Amino acid sequence: MTKIYMAQKYPSTNPLIDGSNDENDTNWIEKYALICLKVAIGFLLITMAFLIFTQHLLNRQLSVENDRLRLLVNDKTHNDLINHPLFEQYSSEFEDFKKKFEKEYVDEDEEKNRKLIFLNRIQEIEELNSAEEQFGGTEYGINEFTDMTDEEFKKLLLPLDYYKNLRKQPTFIKEIDKDMRETAKNIPPRFDWREKGVVTAVKNQNGCGSCWAFATVATVECAYAIAHGQLRNLSEQELLDCNLENNACNGGDVDKAFRFVHEQGLMSEDAYPYVAHRQNSCSLVGEERTKIDVAYWLNPTEDAIIDWLLTYGP
C-alpha cells in the first residue's frame, strides 16, 4: 500500500523568507522601545532627584552659614567676630571699601561691628547675584551703604512711614484732579525719559540725610526740562541752607521743600554747589531762579505711576 505524505507548510523563522511575522516583529520593537523609554525616564528622574538633593544640601549649608553671620551681627560679640573663619577672608575687601568711601569709625569696637555688617552684606550680595544668574537684569555690588544696618539705611533714605502720615495732613502738595487721571493710552512696552534728555545725571548725597532735597530737586529739574526744552542742574544745597523748616542732613519732608521752591525758587547747582552739610549762611540773590506752580501726590499704584510718567514726566 502506498502511503502519500502531504507536505505541510511551516512558517519560516526568517522574516526575509516569510513575511508572515511582520506584525509580531513590529510589536516586539514597540515593546523594546517602550522599555528603553521607561529606563531613560527613570534615569532622568534619579538624576533630577540627586541634583535637587545636592542643591538642597548646598542651600542648607549656605543658610546655616548665613544664620551664623546674622547671629553674630545681632549679638555683636567681638570674640565670635574675630574667630569667625570668614572674618579674615574678607579683610582686604573691607579695607578697600574703607579707602574707596573714606570710612572713618569712632573706635576699634565700632570698626569691628561695621566689618561684620559688611561681611553679612557681602553674603547677601552673593546670594542675590547667584539668583540673578537664572533671570538676569540686575547686578548687585558694594556701595557706601554696605556697612550699615537695615534700620540705619531706612532712617537715612527711606522715611516712608513719615510720608504716609504727612499725606493725611493739610499740605502744599495737592491730590491729583480726576481729569488728570488715567489719560495715557496705548502704553508702550518700553519708555525712557532719559532718552528724551530731560533727566539729569545721578547725584550723590553722601552721608547726609538729604534725600528729601534730592527728590524735590530732581522732580523740578525734569518738569523744567519738559516744559522748556532745557536741562538745568539745580541746587540741593540751597534747600539744606535756606529751607529752615526742614532739618538739612537730619531729614525733611517734600511738602515743605516744594513750598520753598514755589515761593523762593532754586538756583543752579553751579552757583550753589553741594557740600553735604548745612552751612551757616543762606544765599538767595544774584542768580536766575526756577520756581514751580503746584505739586501733586501720586496714587501709590503701579498703574497710576505709569500713567503719570507717560503723560506728565518723572
> Do 142 and 161 reside in the same domain of the chain?
no
Question: What's the pLDDT tens digit per position in 40-78?
Answer: 676 677 766 666 655 554 454 545 445 545 544 555 455
> Do 104 and 162 reside in the same domain of the chain?
no
In a domain, residue 57? The reply is yes
CATH number of the domain within which 272 lies: 3.90.70.10
Nearest to 82 by CA among 70, 94, 71, 91: 91
Nearest to 214 by CA among 161, 172, 159, 264: 159
Q: How many domains does the chain have?
A: 2
CB of 98 closer than 8 Å to CB of 115? no
pLDDT of residue 5: 34
pLDDT at 89 over 90: no
Measured over the CA atoms of residue 24, residue 28, residue 33 and residue 38, the dihedral's sign is: positive
> Do 114 and 165 reside in the same domain of the chain?
no
User: What residues have CB less than 8 Å from 152, skipping those under 6 apart?
Assistant: none
* Residue type present at position 12: S
pLDDT at 305 over 70: yes
In a domain, residue 15? The reply is no
pLDDT of residue 97: 93
Q: Which of 97, 126, 148 is the last residue of a domain?
A: 148
Q: Which of 92, 121, 148 is the last residue of a domain?
A: 148
pLDDT at 311 over 50: yes
Q: Which of 121, 148, 175 is the last residue of a domain?
A: 148
> Do 171 and 129 reside in the same domain of the chain?
no
Q: Can you tell me which residue has the cell 567681638? A: 78
> Do 163 and 138 reside in the same domain of the chain?
no
pLDDT at 6 over 70: no
Measured over the CA atoms of residue 108, residue 110, residue 112 and residue 115, the dihedral's sign is: negative
> Do 143 and 161 reside in the same domain of the chain?
no
pLDDT at 217 over 90: yes
In a domain, residue 161? The reply is yes
State residue 297 phi and psi, 5-degree precision: -80, 140
> Do 159 and 128 reside in the same domain of the chain?
no
> Do 175 and 305 reside in the same domain of the chain?
yes
> Do 142 and 169 reside in the same domain of the chain?
no
**pTM, 2 dp:** 0.52
* Termini Cα distance of the chain: 118
> Do 119 and 137 reside in the same domain of the chain?
yes
Strands (DSSP E) found in the chain: 174-175, 296-297
> Do 302 and 178 reside in the same domain of the chain?
yes
pLDDT of residue 295: 84
- SS3 of residue 17 by DSSP: coil
Nearest to 212 by CA among 170, 144, 271, 260: 260
B/e letters for 186-212, b = 16+ CB within 10 Å, e = fewer, are eeeeeeeeeeeebbbeeeebebbbbbb
In a domain, residue 82? The reply is yes
In a domain, residue 115? The reply is yes
Quick one: what percent of the chain has pLDDT higher than 70? 64
Domain containing residue 140: 26-148
DSSP symbol at 228: H
In a domain, residue 284? The reply is yes
pLDDT of residue 270: 92
Chain-wide mean pLDDT for the chain?
Answer: 76
> Do 160 and 308 reside in the same domain of the chain?
yes
In a domain, residue 106? The reply is yes
- When pLDDT is averaged across residues 159-163 and rounded to a whole number, the result is 58
In a domain, residue 101? The reply is yes
